[in-house]
Homo-oligomer: A and B are copies of this chain.
Amino acid sequence: MPEFELLPVTAAGTRFVELAEKHAADFAPRVPEADRTATFQTQNLDEMKASGFTSAPVPVEFGGLGVRSVHDLALGMNRLGRTDPSTAIAINMHLSIVWAADFLHRLAKGTDNAAQTEAMAGLLQQMASGLIAAASNTEPGTTMGWPMTEATKVDEGWSLSGRKTFGTLSPAADLVLVSCRTARGDGTYESGFAIVPGGAPGMTFLDDWDTLGMRSSGSNGAVYDGCLLPESSMMSGASWGDSGGVMGVSLGAVTNLGLIAAFVGIAEAARDLAIDLARTRTKQPSGAPVAHRYGIQHAVAEMEADLATCRAHLSWAGRLLDERVANVAPQDLNIQDLYAIQGQFQCSKLVVNRKAIDVVDKALQISGGSGYFSSSPLSRMYRDVRAGPFMQPYSPNEVYEYIGQVALGLPPAIQT
């Protein structure tokens, strides 16, 4: 166990992180084969349901663990990421949506919206009973926030058509939130989410997730071809291109905190492997462990400094999001403040994703070539950790604009 690892800050979070550590140990032996065959690990999901892990953000009153701290939720992903980052990012998708359901429940209560309070309570109870949710946002050929997937009004409710990619966890999902647009009739669009039950006719998950890394995350593409949905399935209202409001901006940060935590987990595991190698591997002519060599010590120090940067940022960002988002009554959140908080969080995401890559890269260097073999976990880690910078919203292709604009006091408006 790393001596300077991050520790949870709430009691509920402590229980959650303990579960994460147990699951991480259980999942570990299945990772090499899952990686080789790019197979989603249904068994992992079953075990996480059985332990109550998947309902962690559900309030205790509804049968969950009551983990509201996003810092602590992220630490769970961190522990999973050390052995099985594909599963970490998959379950992070679900946990973020559960967290959002609790957020909406608190918002409804805080604004005396009885119907929505009841609806969200019901959803949370389902989630406590094992319902798994996923989201499907990314879409080829358009920019985040401008979905081309469209829900058209029909007699039965809505007909949804379009195409999505990077649908992490979606094959196993009991419901999928699909970002889409609806025509207003005046040539403009609203955007929102269609709630699509798993197995709905007209929804097809492709089996196309064959990638460099994160190979068992099940992030398949999906095709919606006249998928019929009941009237109540649309959560809409924002203008097409809007940033998602208080809820959307909050969730964008919260989801990504779990992701970067998983990448820090990869970095921690790579670091430990490299240190262990250096301490135990001896070389002639001295016969001493390579740890005694100055060049190795220097590389280790660079790795340590980068890992410390990862942890410092994760801690910083986790406490920031707890203080300014999770522990604030949802109705008191302010969109301008959230833009600034998102800007600050994106700094952490940017740095952590890069430095986690650097840590694994340095661990490979320290391995002296042995880590380059497929049989070494380091070679998998090097492929997995590279997924970090792609995560939406705001890959490095867009994030500098976002951060710069909000730091300069301008409204965030990334070029499209």
Chain A contacts to B: CB under 8 angstroms: 3-4, 138, 141-143, 146, 148, 165-166, 210-213, 240-241, 275, 278-279, 282-286, 290-305, 308-309, 311-313, 315-317, 320, 340, 343-344, 347-348, 350-351, 357, 361, 364-366, 368-369, 372-375, 379, 382-383, 386-387, 389-390, 395-405, 407-410, 414-416
A126 to chain B, nearest CB (A): 32
Chain B contacts of A294 at CB under 8 A?
294, 298, 401, 415
Chain B contacts of A284 at CB under 8 A?
141-143, 146, 148, 416
**A313–B309 CB distance below 8 A:** yes
Residue pairs across A and B with Cβ atoms less than 8 A apart, 22 shown, are A138-B369, A141-B284, A143-B283, A143-B285, A146-B285, A275-B407, A284-B416, A291-B409, A291-B410, A295-B398, A295-B399, A295-B401, A297-B405, A298-B400, A298-B404, A304-B347, A308-B348, A309-B313, A309-B347, A312-B313, A368-B390, A368-B397
Taking a contact as CB atoms closer than 8 A, the residue among B293, B387, B396, B416 that contacts A372 in the complex is: B387
Chain B contacts of A300 at CB under 8 A?
403-404, 407-408
A35 to chain B, nearest CB (A): 12
**B298–A369 CB distance below 8 A:** no
Q: How far is the CA of A265 from the CA of B340 in the complex (A)?
A: 20
A268 to chain B, nearest CB (A): 13
Given contacts A146-B284, A297-B408, A301-B404, contact A386 B364 (CB under 8 A): yes
Chain B contacts of A386 at CB under 8 A?
361, 364, 372, 382
**A403–B285 CB distance below 8 A:** no
Q: How far is the CA of A316 from the CA of B310 in the complex (A)?
A: 11
Q: How far is the CA of A349 from the CA of B383 in the complex (A)?
A: 24
Q: How far is the CA of A405 from the CA of B275 in the complex (A)?
A: 11
**B340–A408 CB distance below 8 A:** no
- Chain B residue at minimum C-beta to C-beta distance from A147: B284
**B283–A340 CB distance below 8 A:** no
**A283–B416 CB distance below 8 A:** yes
Of residues A142, A279, A301, A374, which shows the largest number of chain B Cβ atoms within 10 Å of its Cβ?
A: A301
Chain B contacts of A299 at CB under 8 A?
396-397, 404
**A403–B373 CB distance below 8 A:** no
- Chain B residue at minimum C-beta to C-beta distance from A143: B283
**B165–A369 CB distance below 8 A:** yes
Given contacts A142-B284, A212-B372, A408-B279, contact A298 B298 (CB under 8 A): yes
- Chain B residue at minimum C-beta to C-beta distance from A282: B141
